[in-house]
Amino acid sequence: METSVATRKPNRCEADLLAVLVSEFKSEGVSGARVAKLPKPLVLADFGDAAFADIVRVITRGDFSGKKGESALLHPGPDFAAKRLLLIGMGDAGALDASGLRAAAGKAVRSTQDHKGKRVAILPPPVRRLRAEAVAQALAEGAVLGNYRFDRHQSKSGKALRETQLLFAGANDLRAARKGAATGVILAESQNLARDLSNEAPNLLPPVKLAEAAKRVARETGLQLRVLQPAELEKRGMGAMLAVAQGSANPARLIVLEHNAPRAGKTGGSRSRKSKSGARKTVCLIGKGVCFDSGGLSLKPAGSMVKMKHDMSGGAAVIGALRAIALLKLPQHVVGIVGAVENMPSGTAYRVDDVLKSASGKSIEVTNTDAEGRLVLADCLHYAQTEYQPAAIVDFATLTGACIIALGRWAAAAIGNNERLRTRMVRAGEATGERYWPLPLWDEHLEHMKSRIADIRQTGGRDAGTITAAAFLAHFVAEDQPWLHLDIAGMADTEQGTSTQPTGATGFGVRSVVALIREGGLKGL
Query: Residues with Cβ < 8 Å from 140, sequence gap 6 or more?
Result: 3, 105, 164, 166, 180, 181, 182, 183, 184, 185, 188
Helix axis angle, 373-388 relative to 465-474, nearest 10°?
30
Query: Residues with Cβ < 8 Å from 337, sequence gap 6 or more?
Result: 254, 255, 256, 284, 285, 286, 287, 318, 380, 383, 384
Q: State the number of CA atoms in the 13 A half-sphere of 147 facing the CB.
A: 26
DSSP string spanning 99-134? HHHHHHHHHHHHHHHHTT-SEEEEEPPP-TTS-HHH
Catalytic member of 374, 424, 457, 511? 374
85 in Cβ contact with 51 (< 8 Å): yes
285 in Cβ contact with 394 (< 8 Å): yes
Catalytic member of 67, 300, 307, 435? 300
Q: How far apart are CA 119 and CA 102, in angstroms?
A: 17
Query: Residues with Cβ < 8 Å from 32, sequence gap 6 or more?
Result: 53, 56, 57, 60
152 catalytic? Reply is no
Q: What angle do CA 509, 515, 519 make, to 5 degrees?
A: 155
Of the candidates 133, 138, 64, which has an alpha carbon nearest to the alpha carbon of residue 101? 138
Q: How far apart are CA 257 and CA 318, in angstroms?
A: 9
Helix or strand or coil: residue 166? strand
Helix H or strand E encompassing 212: helix 207-221
Where do the DSSP E strands lie in 281-391? Answer: 283-293, 334-343, 355-357, 363-365
Q: How far apart are CA 515 and CA 75, in angstroms?
A: 40
293 in Cβ contact with 372 (< 8 Å): yes
300 catalytic? Reply is yes
Q: Read off the amino acid at residue 66.
A: G
Give strand pairing partners of 450.
456
Q: State the number of CA atoms in the 13 A half-sphere of 372 facing the CB.
A: 35
Which residues are catalytic, by number?
300, 374
